Amino acid sequence: MVRNLRSSTTDSFFIYSDFQHGTAPMDFANRYIQSDDSKICVVMVGLPARGKSLIAGKAMRYLGWVGIPARVFNVGSYRRFNTPQPSATFFDPHNEEGERMRRAAAEAAMSDMIQWFNTGKGVVAILDATNSTKERRKWIYEKCQEADIEALFVESICDDEDLIMSNIKEVKTTSPDYKGQDPEEAALDFRNRIRNYEMVYETIADSEKHYTFVKLINVGSTVIINQIKDYLSSRLVYYIQNLHIKPRSIWLSRHGESEFNLSGAIGGDSNISERGEAYARALPELMRKSGIPENTKIVIWTSTLKRTIQSARHLKAETGYEKLEWKALDELDSGVCDGLTYEQIAEKYPEDFAARDEDKYNYRYRGGESYRDVVIRLEPIIMELERSENVIIVTHQAVLRCIYAYFMNVPQEQSPWMEVPLHTLIKLTPRAYGTEEQRFKADIPAVSTWRGKGTSAKHQEFPAEGEAKEETKE
């Protein structure tokens, strides 16, 4: 029986993740992470305040979410270790001491990166620095070649002064370099620092055509892609070119309490309960309470199941927001267990029940899905969310956990155990250095659908303290 569990534990990427464990994992690794020891170094290139760290951070989060081990190596933080609060003159290219220190920081970052790859656990490293001269890029390229690492240069170019200044104000004056300093003074110092970089900045040139690179010009309004060879790089570039930096929020809500929730059954396509209907009626006001900037267009996304459509009904009717239904937002398919309670599953399929508790992220219901499967089918949803602006998603517990995990960088082991209570609106607002979260609880009671490891209780209360409670926020 156990051999039917079809638990897929291979590290995975996109559709390749659909690969099932126990059949030919080596072939998987050989092909899809290109080779047994595939290593990609994403080398950021660009002047300060061009969004490099934002892109680096998002790419890392995205890769981690789809199961590719990725890490950012920020050269600035190596430099900062020795020179915590440098003045603008430190960055003057004629300042030899400064130049020496920055070179040392780059070398330290490269060396750590190569060491990380050598552990065999790394697949994508992101080298976050200006890398603003041909010479520096040549040095990195050669270092990578020596270590059998593929270099992918990602240059962010921006000549829109407003964009640059808004980036400086939002990001840089709160950077560790300026901790405790006056923001206006900090902005001024930073503007000077950029001028120093501008003196020596060299965009990726024709003489560097043999490199694999992407140039993003003015936040992706123009994109130049050169010599992309492998699938992983091509998907990563596609992700990066879909990013935008317009301010927006994403709201997440589970459907209102359903009839199945009341009976403790999972899956199905039941109607919402009376209390669920009360939540649906309360949702428009809850949205307003959460704060919606004036003239903001919001789009409602639901799954194709009745309980989410019913839950968004009043919101749509009252606001006239556009609405979309996605099959990709349907609840995790519990296969043969669909319609059963946890108690019944524990009784009928004790081995499966235990296996699921053991590794909830990878456990695939017989004839159904695992959390990993859900992440794969949500990948295009995430891509579309990155392209979109303000969206409220009304969906299901497992799906919401996966989407939340993407934005809040929750590790795979934790995300399936997260508490996402009914009748609660979550508002996520992307910021330069992470995602801000707010929760708004409707004052409408509902059963708890959270289940602790090893229990099959119907309506268990989420513990006030404990491992599963731990929230991971950026």
For residues 314 and 309, what is the distance between their CA atoms, to the nearest angstrom? Answer: 10
Check whether 396 is labelled as a binding-site residue. Answer: no
Q: How far is the CB of 177 from its own copies (least distance, A)?
A: 34
Size of the chain, expressed as the number of residues it contains? 474
Q: How far is the CB of 326 from its own copies (least distance, A)?
A: 6
Could you tell me what percentage of the chain is helix, strand and coil, using 3-state DSSP and rounding each to the nearest 5? 45, 15, 40
For residues 354 and 1, what is the distance between their CA atoms, to the nearest angstrom? Answer: 13
Check whether 259 is labelled as a binding-site residue. Answer: yes
Looking at the DSSP assignment, which residues form a beta bridge with residue 261? Answer: none
Query: What's 265's DSSP letter?
Result: B
* 194 or 219: CB nearest its own copies: 219
Query: What's 128's DSSP letter?
Result: E
Catalytic annotation, pick one of 150, 155, 331, 369: 331
CB 236 within 8 A of CB 59: yes
Check whether 358 is labelled as a binding-site residue. Answer: no
Check whether 256 is labelled as a binding-site residue. Answer: yes
Q: Say which amino acid occupies 406.
A: Y
Tokens (6 digits) for 254: 């589970």
Neighbours of 276 (CB within 10 A): 26
Q: How far is the CB of 303 from its own copies (least distance, A)?
A: 10
Question: Interface with its own copies includes 107 (CB under 8 A)?
Answer: no
Task: Candidates 50-58, 64-72, 353-361, 377-385: pick the segment binding its own copies (CB under 8 A).
Answer: 377-385
- Cα 372–Cα 280–Cα 393 angle in degrees, nearest 5: 35
**Window 42 to 71, contacts with its own copies (CB under 8 A):** none
Q: How far is the CB of 304 from its own copies (least distance, A)?
A: 5
Q: Is 255 a catalytic residue?
A: yes
Q: How far is the CB of 50 from its own copies (least distance, A)?
A: 18
Phi, psi dihedral angles at 250 (to 5 degrees): -125, 125
Catalytic annotation, pick one of 150, 155, 255, 379: 255
Neighbours of 13 (CB within 10 A): 22
- How many chain residues touch its own copies (CB under 8 A)? 42
Question: Interface with its own copies includes 35 (CB under 8 A)?
Answer: no
Q: How far is the CB of 38 from its own copies (least distance, A)?
A: 14
Site string for its own copies, 208-247 (x = CB under 8 A): -x-----------xxxxxxx---x--x---x--xx-----
* 32 or 404: CB nearest its own copies: 32
Element (H, E) at 409: none
Neighbours of 449 (CB within 10 A): 23
Residue choice 85, 145, 207, 304 for contact with its own copies (CB under 8 A) = 304
For residues 393 and 231, what is the distance between their CA atoms, to the nearest angstrom? Answer: 30
* 32 or 417: CB nearest its own copies: 32
CB 433 within 8 A of CB 72: no
Residue choice 100, 179, 244, 387 for contact with its own copies (CB under 8 A) = 387
Q: Is 244 a catalytic residue?
A: no
Question: Interface with its own copies includes 31 (CB under 8 A)?
Answer: yes
Question: Interface with its own copies includes 342 (CB under 8 A)?
Answer: no
CB 323 within 8 A of CB 253: no
Where do we find the tokens 């659908």?
449
Neighbours of 137 (CB within 10 A): 22
Task: Candidates 29-37, 112-120, 181-189, 352-360: pick the segment binding its own copies (CB under 8 A).
Answer: 29-37
**Active centre residues (catalytic):** 255, 331
Residues in the annotated binding site for substrate:
254-261, 307
Q: Which stretches of the chain bind its own copies, using CB under 8 A? A: 14-16, 18-20, 23-24, 27-28, 30-32, 209, 221-227, 231, 234, 238, 241-242, 299, 304, 309, 322-328, 338, 367, 380-381, 384, 387
Residues in the annotated binding site:
254-261, 307
